[in-house]
Amino acid sequence: MTILKTLATVGVAVLLVACGSTAPVTQYYQLPDSAFRLPEKSGREVGVKVVLAEPINGENLLYQSDEYTLTFAQKNLWAAPLDETLVRSLANKLNRVGSLKYVPASQNKRIDLTIFIDRFQGSFRGETEISGYAQYANGAQIPFHVLTAQQGDGYAAMLASLNVGLDSVARQIGK
């Protein structure tokens, strides 16, 4: 009888521990301006394509935790492929600052502007970093390297800072 009582007590304890501990929830993120809106302006369409460097071409958000280490978030992921999200966001931003009509290349089947991004990440320094270059079909290149102060902690603050950085990138490309 004592063995049954002990087993029952252990069983209840295991059940309580199992119910009390929950695995971390995976969260999915998107950039605020990532739903493409066709601009009302007329004119020649410029098809935009984004090409990402290998470290940022995955589903994980990326954070530089010291001078030498990149950390891939395990439970904080992009809701959609980052290159698709960035092309829609940058096309929207370019349409607000530029005189041309920018659209994702997937919509007009033509690539007139390719934006290569090799850094798109948070940093231990309290800022986010975006770098790369834009290349037009005629070969003209526009390099960019943008550091934006992050206001607050966490991935939501990191994305807000990256979004501000993308505004700056669009101004540099669209001028």
DSSP 23: P
Q: What separation, in Å, do the N-terminal and C-terminal C-alpha atoms of the chain show? A: 83
Tally of CB atoms within 10 A around 171:
16
45-174 has CATH 3.10.580.10 classification? no
pLDDT at 99: 83
Mean pLDDT for the chain?
Answer: 88
Q: Give pLDDT < 70 ranges for the chain.
A: 1-22
Domain boundaries, given as residue ranges, for the chain = 45-174
Residue 18 has what pLDDT?
Answer: 52
Over the stretch 142-175, which tens digit does the pLDDT of each residue have?
A: 999 999 999 999 999 999 999 999 999 999 998 8
| 87's tokens | 């092309």
